[in-house]
Copies of this chain bind each other. A is one copy, B any other.
Amino acid sequence: MNPHRHVALPFLLALAASLAFGEQALAGADPLPSWNDGPARKAIVGFVHTATDESNPSFVPPAERIATFDNDGTLWVEHPMYTQLAFALDRVKALAPDHPEWKTRQPFQAVLENDLETLAASGQKGIAELVTTTHAGMTTAEFEAIVTDWLAKARHPRFGRPYTELTYQPMVELLTYLRANGFKTYIVSGGGVEFMRPMTEKVYGIPPEQVVGSTIETRYEKKDGRPVLMRLPHIDFIDDKAGKPVGINKFIGRRPVAAFGNSGGDREMLEWTGAGSGARLMMLVFHDDAEREYAYGPAGGLPDTKFGTFPPSLMDEAGKKGWVVISMKNDWKRIFSPAP
């Protein structure tokens, strides 16, 4: 008989007890400390319990635990304008010395004169011209370097912090909580894929291959004998509104079981997610906190906005379909992530 057997057993039991204690301590630590104990938080925790409980008929196998998040206004600030638009305006100003013709050509003139009203009047066509001008004509590697440099230096006009610090701490906790429960977290945004990828891993823990967004065309060529991908001034795909389920199907190929947005641009993504079977969670961030962030959205009688509008019809649909509306004012203890 193994002489260690009798003594090893109590040791193992002690070890097991200590491991169990460690797990309990871990389970006891609140994974969502920035969420008030309201209906939104309860919906999240309830969903995760259901989805991960094998004995529950709505159990979701790990491979199917796909959660998709809009970015602007859902994970980080989108006012006074989309961060990517702020980037495009800064690029126009940086490139202006090489383009004297822009002084008298719209929409560039409006940008150079900080005339946002005229810029807005140029509509989608004007914005598309801004984007293709400032986001194309370089290699993908060059663009990544430009974005990375800009994100490091640019500051938000109201909060004076880098945009990458103006992420919503409760949502970052939610991402982490879902991943700890076997979910694969994706961004599905109207923003440009290659504008987001340089920062999503560091800021959200979401790797580049889990970022779905709008794309411009690229072309493979040789430059000084080395292969490069050149960014062309043509929009390839717009990942917004009805484009979101299309993008999800194209890039991911699975229907999400949880989806998070904050505007009319996310409606179809939530519908598509909700139309599947098994445990589901659809949530909309509602910007009703002018003091700590911004308040906008005609659905709540708040001012309408060009960026991230939340129409009354979306609030109606949310009510009918059981989508959970997150009140930033009431559901969140804090808004932004702490300074690093």
Contacts and interface: CB of A to CB of B under 8 A. Distances in A.
Interface of A: 4, 7-8, 10-11, 14, 63, 66, 140, 184, 193-194, 197, 201, 207-209, 211, 215, 218-220, 226-227, 229, 236, 242-243, 245-246, 249-254, 268, 271-272, 275
A313 B221 CA distance: 18
Contacts of A272: 220, 227
Contacts of A207: 63, 254
Given A8-B8, A220-B268, A250-B218, A227 B245 contact: yes
A263 B193 CA distance: 30
15 contacts: A7-B7, A7-B8, A8-B8, A11-B11, A197-B253, A208-B252, A209-B254, A218-B249, A219-B242, A219-B246, A226-B275, A227-B268, A229-B245, A229-B249, A251-B251
B8 A253 contact: no
Contacts of A253: 193-194, 197, 208-209, 211
A73 to B, nearest CB: 21
Interface centre among A14, A207, A249, A268 (most CB of B within 10 A): A249
Nearest to A271: B227
Nearest to A222: B271
B7 A4 contact: yes
Contact of A14 (B4, B63, B254, B271): B4
Contacts of A7: 4, 7-8, 11
Sort A-B residue pairs by CB-CB distance and give the 4 closest, nearest first: A208-B253, A7-B7, A220-B242, A8-B11
A312 to B, nearest CB: 20
A310 to B, nearest CB: 20
Given A4-B11, A219-B242, A227-B245, 19 more contacts: A4-B7, A7-B11, A8-B8, A63-B201, A63-B207, A66-B209, A140-B249, A184-B209, A193-B250, A193-B253, A208-B254, A209-B253, A220-B243, A220-B268, A227-B268, A227-B272, A227-B275, A229-B245, A229-B246
A278 to B, nearest CB: 15
Contacts of A236: 250
A208 B251 CA distance: 9
Nearest to A7: B7
A45 to B, nearest CB: 26
A10 B63 CA distance: 41
Nearest to A231: B249
Nearest to A63: B207
A58 to B, nearest CB: 19
A220 B208 contact: no
Contacts of A66: 209
